[in-house]
């Protein structure tokens, strides 16, 4: 264990031991001379016995020699040391600040940076102890709060947004630090010895919060539209169309459609939240991906023939074993092939293939690719396709009974399976959705290597 540094108000042990009896006698010479004069006076003028006088004098000399006391010069030195400790944080404070996981600045009461931890050094380049804090922290609200903490001695928490280069949310805790014995406990505290500024980047938290609220807003909006249409038709059927059998049949079929849309939406929302709940649990069962793809293609063949599209399969002869959840992998394949049929039916063909891939370090993975020859997707939409409710064209998605959640579900399922989704597309050239999934692990828990 390392020796803790002495407290700023403690006299260091070596100072106490350093003074010799002779030095102490020298330091107390004036007091001793005065005492000698007083004792001599008492002996001569007041007939105090000489032996008593000599005994008192001897006792004073012994006490001076052997009882340690602070010399004035040592006191001055000590005060200077205290002053320095008040200007520069001690090792204990530095070690503590270094242990904090967020950027921290220690400044003095005049706003001069006295110490910064490693996190702050890595984010705020060029920050130097001795420079004003405002050289590195420029947010006006933060500097104003810092001044208030200096003046009042009360801790504050503030947050602010920086717009450049990207929108970033920050929160700072500004706390005064009083060294022991420096007057922090007084009713009207003095200027703090140090101010600790701890900065936290809240951007990720805010982004998640915004995603959650956006999701709720989008989901309720998506549900409200068919609900409004259902209510409207029910009112019409109760009123003006009460005795119109033709209108009633037409309206009932639209109502069935809208109810179906609501059901699909609720199914997808529930599916998404179920997958999110299991996000950190890796599937343990072994499944045959090739069989899953074949099964899904068969299930979608009626839709394909309705759309006038042929699904062309290119699957390995032997089983393709991976660790996975069968139902979830069916959902992935179904969503991708169904999208290719819905949005790429103009191309007349959908190619579905499964092939071995050599990932980094020769780990074996399988790649499922679903290619259509339809309109394709403009490049700017590609990065956002897996966002919830994101559609390239809302009307065509609705016309195709889309909910805007299909690819978000695919992404979540793949995250749970340690898989990846890549989309390649050029407008007018169709789109290819590629899914990579790690092959079954070997005994060491690593994906099997491709045999030469």
Give residues in contact with ligand ADP (CB under 6 A).
335, 339-340, 343-344, 372, 374, 377, 385, 390-393, 397, 402-408, 431
Please state the closest distance from residue 231 (CB atom) to ligand ADP, in A.
24
Please state the closest distance from residue 397 (CB atom) to ligand ADP, in A.
3
End-to-end Cα spacing for the chain:
55
Cβ closest to ligand ADP, residue 176 vs residue 376: 376
Please state the closest distance from residue 316 (CB atom) to ligand ADP, in A.
24
What values do phi and psi take at 172, rounded to 5? -130, 135
Please state the closest distance from residue 347 (CB atom) to ligand ADP, in A.
9
**Tokens 């991708």 found at:** 336
Cβ contacts of residue 28 below 8 Å, gap of 6+?
Answer: 64
**Tokens 């929160």 found at:** 171
Cβ contacts of residue 381 below 8 Å, gap of 6+?
Answer: 390, 392
Please state the closest distance from residue 391 (CB atom) to ligand ADP, in A.
3
Please state the closest distance from residue 376 (CB atom) to ligand ADP, in A.
6
Judged by DSSP in three states, 355 sits in strand
Cβ–Cβ under 8 Å, residues 117 and 103: yes
Cβ closest to ligand ADP, residue 250 vs residue 379: 379
Cβ closest to ligand ADP, residue 182 vs residue 339: 339
Q: How far apart are CA 21 and CA 63, in angstroms?
A: 10
Q: Which of 321, 230, 256 is nearest to 283 (CA)?
A: 321
Please state the closest distance from residue 334 (CB atom) to ligand ADP, in A.
10
Cβ closest to ligand ADP, residue 61 vs residue 303: 303
Please state the closest distance from residue 261 (CB atom) to ligand ADP, in A.
11
Cβ closest to ligand ADP, residue 124 vs residue 390: 390
- Helix pair 326-344, 406-416: axis angle to 10 deg: 150
Please state the closest distance from residue 234 (CB atom) to ligand ADP, in A.
27
Q: How far apart are CA 67 and CA 73, in angstroms?
A: 17
**Tokens 């050029």 found at:** 426
DSSP for 418-436, please give it: T-EEEEEE-TTS-EEEEEE
The β-bridge partners of 158 are 172
Cβ closest to ligand ADP, residue 128 vs residue 274: 274
Cβ closest to ligand ADP, residue 271 vs residue 397: 397
Cβ closest to ligand ADP, residue 64 vs residue 335: 335
Judged by DSSP in three states, 201 sits in strand
* Secondary structure string (H, E, C) spanning 321-382: EEECCHHHHHHHHHHHHHHHHHHHHHHCEEEEEEEEEECHHHEEEEEEEEEECCCCCCHHHH
Q: How far apart are CA 63 and CA 53, in angstroms?
A: 16
Cβ closest to ligand ADP, residue 109 vs residue 344: 344
**Tokens 């293939």 found at:** 353
Cα 428 to chain centroid, rounded:
40
């Amino acid at each position: 264990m390392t020796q803790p540094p002495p407290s700023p108000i403690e006299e260091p042990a070596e100072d106490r031991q350093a003074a010799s009896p002779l030095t102490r006698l020298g330091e107390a010479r004036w007091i001793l001379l005065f005492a000698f004069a007083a004792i001599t006076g008492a002996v001569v003028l007041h007939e105090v016995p000489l032996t008593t006088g000599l005994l008192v004098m001897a006792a004073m000399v012994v006490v001076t020699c052997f009882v340690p006391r602070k010399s004035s010069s040592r006191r001055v030195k000590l005060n200077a040391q205290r002053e320095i400790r008040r200007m520069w944080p001690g090792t204990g404070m530095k070690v503590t600040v270094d242990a904090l996981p967020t950027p921290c600045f220690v400044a003095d009461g005049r706003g001069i940076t006295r110490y910064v931890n490693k996190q702050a050094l890595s984010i705020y380049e060029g920050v130097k102890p001795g420079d004003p804090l405002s050289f590195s922290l420029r947010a006006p609200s933060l500097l104003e709060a810092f001044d208030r903490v200096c003046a009042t001695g009360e801790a504050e928490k503030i947050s602010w947004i920086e717009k450049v280069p990207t929108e970033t949310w920050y929160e700072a805790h500004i706390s005064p630090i009083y060294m022991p014995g420096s007057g922090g406990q007084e009713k009207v505290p003095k200027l703090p010895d140090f101010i600790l500024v701890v900065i936290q980047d809240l951007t990720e938290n805010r982004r998640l919060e915004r995603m959650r609220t956006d999701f709720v807003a989008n989901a309720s909006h998506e549900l409200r539209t068919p609900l409004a249409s259902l209510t409207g038709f029910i009112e019409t059927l109760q009123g003006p169309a009460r005795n119109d059998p033709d209108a009633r049949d037409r309206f009932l079929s639209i109502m069935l459609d809208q109810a179906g849309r609501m059901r699909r939406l609720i199914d997808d929302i529930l599916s998404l939240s179920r997958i999110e709940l299991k996000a950190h649990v890796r599937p343990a069962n072994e499944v045959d991906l090739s069989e899953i793809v074949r099964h899904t293609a068969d299930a979608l063949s009626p839709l394909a023939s309705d759309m006038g599209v042929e699904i062309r399969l290119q699957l390995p002869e032997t089983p393709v074993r991976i660790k996975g959840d069968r139902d979830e992998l069916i959902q992935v394949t179904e969503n991708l092939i169904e999208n290719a049929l819905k949005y790429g039916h103009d191309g007349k063909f959908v190619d579905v293939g499964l092939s071995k891939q050599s990932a980094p370090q020769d780990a074996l993975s399988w790649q499922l690719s679903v290619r259509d020859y339809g309109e394709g997707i403009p490049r700017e939409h590609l990065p956002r396709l897996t966002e919830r409710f994101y559609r390239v064209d809302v009307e065509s998605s609705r016309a195709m009974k889309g909910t805007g959640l299909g690819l978000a579900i695919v992404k979540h399922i793949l995250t749970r399976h340690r898989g990846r989704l890549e989309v390649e597309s050029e407008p007018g050239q169709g789109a290819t959705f590629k899914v990579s999934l790690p092959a079954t692990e070997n005994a060491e828990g690593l994906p099997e290597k491709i045999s030469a």
